[in-house]
């Protein structure tokens, strides 16, 4: 069922709903368009699915366009993504040409006469060059920008400088060398989506069963795209250590995003490694209820990322009141206050991570306490209603 903003009253309270209506009235009938590069897989698609619908519900004409990329293009933009998070890159003229050309091509059949254009992430960033600009443009970057490859950053800046505002997910991602206005908007989850709404025990059982997950042992899970920054190999190592102390099962669940060509290769490598391990289940599926069932029933949720823009999977697990052990990187420490809403571990510390998981498996009461605090923290800071308010503030700044 399509959700209405007032459906969130019970979760966020009447004041928040009233504030949204009060702020939104100024923008009734304004046209806003979001542009990104995939409609499914990954956090950006997840956010837009709810945010765009709610923007429409409060009277804004909000649209969502998805850039049409070729496999070549996505191979290059994935390299850009990795290099923005600190990897090396061989930035050839050919890569730049394909990157810009695909954007120019897409702009030919994407007419933008909106009042505000919001471009998500680096893939559609150059589009701005191919329009006679007649409205504010926002670059909403979801990637950790704290330590980008300097050559790539310098190249991308030539496009970013044309924008009216850059929005990032963390205060630390703001760039000193950028004269463009910069704001922080935390990503968010939709508490009423299939992925996050409460599930009854039977549905959880049915879904675990359907995907070949037996019951009887506590489940540790990490749910993430198969991506090197999510460190699935590290998860296997942590599990090996945990398993020596407590009999449990690991479920590594991942999907493939259409704009991420590396996923399948990484999945195959992990499958090869997991072949000789007991009680490791790998799932390569796009299924929101399965993700919900896993997050709702896990004894411990892991997020062993090496880099992380924000980490919506952490938000989702906290919202379900589950104990989370996650790396102290990117946006994760905004969500996990160590010892209060979960446990933070050093990304390279396999043993330390395993120790925390074992501690939680042996002490469910501790897990319950962390989970309760985590849920309250998400309610306060990381729900879609809060993001909507932030975007309304940005619209006030740019359109009034
Ligand atoms: N996700 C999913 N199925 C999977 C793996 C991930 O639906 O098998 C979802 C996950 O629940 C979350 C999003 O993809 O909503 C991932 O967002 P996150 O910010 O954690 O990471 P990103 O993929 O954007 O780096």
Q: Whose CA is nearest to atom 6 of ligand 1?
A: 224
What CATH class is the domain 201-381? alpha beta
pLDDT at 41 over 90: no
| DSSP label of 87 | -
Q: Ligand 1 atom closest to Cα of 310?
A: 19
pLDDT at 77 over 80: yes
CA distance 311 to 224: 9
Assess whether the region 5-188+384-399 and the region 201-381 belong to the same CATH fold.
Answer: yes
Q: How far is the CA of 285 from the centre of ligand 1 (A)?
A: 11
What pLDDT does residue 325 have?
Answer: 99
The overall average pLDDT reported for the chain is 97
Q: Ligand 1 atom closest to Cα of 255?
A: 8
Alpha helices, H only, the chain? 9-12, 14-24, 43-57, 71-84, 93-108, 150-160, 201-210, 232-245, 263-274, 288-297, 312-319, 332-335, 350-362, 364-381, 384-399
CA distance 322 to 320: 6
Phi/psi region, residue 394 (left: phi>0; alpha: psi -120 to 50; beta: rest), is: alpha
Q: What percent of the chain has pLDDT over 70?
A: 100
Q: Is the CB of 224 under 6 A from ligand 1?
A: yes
pTM, whole model, 2 decimals?
0.96
Q: Is the CB of 46 under 6 A from ligand 1?
A: yes
| DSSP label of 130 | G
What pLDDT does residue 260 have?
Answer: 84
pLDDT at 52 over 90: yes
Instruction: Give 5-188+384-399's CATH code, choosing from 3.90.1150.10, 3.40.640.10, 3.30.1360.170, 3.40.50.2000.
Output: 3.40.50.2000
The residue whose CB lies within 8 Å of the most ligand 1 atoms, and thus the one to mutate among 38, 40, 43, 293, is: 43
pLDDT at 255 over 90: no
What pLDDT does residue 40 have?
Answer: 87
Question: To 5 degrees, how large is the angle CA 315–CA 374–CA 320?
Answer: 60
**Residue appearing with tokens 């398993």:** 243
CA distance 220 to 356: 12
- Residues sharing a CB contact under 8 Å with residue 221, sequence separation 6 or more, in sequence order: 250, 251, 252, 253, 294, 295, 298, 300, 301, 302
* Sign of the C-alpha dihedral computed for residues 290, 293, 295 and 298 taken in this order: negative
Interval 185-203: pLDDT, tens = 999 999 999 999 999 999 9
What pLDDT does residue 257 have?
Answer: 79
What pLDDT does residue 261 have?
Answer: 86
Long-range contact pairs involving 179-183 (C-beta distance under 8 Å, separation at least 24): 181/397, 183/390, 183/394
> Domain boundaries in the chain?
5-188+384-399, 201-381
Q: What end-to-end distance do the CA atoms of the chain give, in Å? A: 34
What pLDDT does residue 188 have?
Answer: 98
pLDDT at 398 over 90: yes
Interval 284-305: pLDDT, tens = 998 999 999 999 999 999 999 9
Q: Ligand 1 atom closest to Cα of 285?
A: 8
């Amino acid at each position: 069922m399509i959700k209405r903003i007032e459906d969130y009253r019970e979760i966020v309270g009447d004041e928040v709903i009233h504030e949204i209506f009060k702020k939104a009235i100024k923008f009734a009938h304004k046209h806003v368009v979001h542009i990104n590069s995939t409609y499914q897989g990954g956090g950006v698609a997840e956010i837009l699915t709810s945010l765009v619908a709610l923007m429409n519900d409060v009277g804004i004409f909000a649209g969502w366009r998805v850039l049409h990329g070729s496999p070549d293009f996505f191979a290059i933009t994935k390299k850009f993504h990795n290099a923005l998070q600190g990897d090396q890159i061989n930035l050839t003229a050919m890569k730049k040409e394909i990157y810009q050309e695909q954007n120019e091509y897409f702009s030919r059949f994407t007419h933008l006469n909106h009042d505000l254009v919001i471009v998500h992430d680096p893939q559609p960033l150059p589009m701005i060059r191919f329009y006679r600009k007649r409205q504010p443009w926002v670059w909403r970057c979801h990637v950790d920008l704290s330590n980008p490859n300097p050559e790539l950053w310098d190249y991308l800046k030539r496009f970013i400088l044309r924008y009216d505002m850059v929005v990032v997910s963390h205060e630390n991602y703001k760039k000193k060398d950028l004269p463009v206005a910069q704001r922080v908007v935390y990503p968010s989850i939709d508490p009423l989506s299939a992925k996050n709404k409460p599930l009854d025990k039977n549905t959880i059982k049915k879904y675990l069963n359907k995907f070949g997950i037996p019951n009887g042992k506590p489940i540790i899970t990490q749910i993430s795209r198969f991506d090197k920054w999510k460190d699935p190999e590290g998860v296997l190592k942590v599990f090996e250590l945990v398993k020596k102390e407590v009999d449990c099962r690991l479920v590594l669940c991942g999907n493939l995003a259409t704009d991420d060509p590396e996923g399948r290769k990484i999945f195959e490598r992990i499958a090869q490694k997991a072949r000789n391990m007991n009680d490791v289940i790998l799932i390569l599926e796009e299924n929101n209820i399965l993700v919900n069932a896993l997050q709702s029933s896990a004894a411990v949720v892991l997020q062993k990322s090496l880099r992380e823009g924000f980490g919506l999977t952490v938000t989702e697990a906290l919202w379900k009141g589950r104990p989370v052990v996650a790396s102290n990187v990117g946006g994760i420490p905004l969500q996990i206050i160590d010892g209060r809403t979960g446990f933070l571990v050093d990304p390279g510390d396999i043993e330390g991570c395993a120790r925390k998981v074992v501690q939680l498996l042996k002490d469910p009461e501790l897990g319950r306490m962390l989970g309760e605090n985590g849920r309250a923290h998400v309610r306060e800071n990381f729900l879609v209603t809060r993001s909507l308010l932030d975007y309304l503030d940005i619209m006030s700044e740019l359109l009034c």
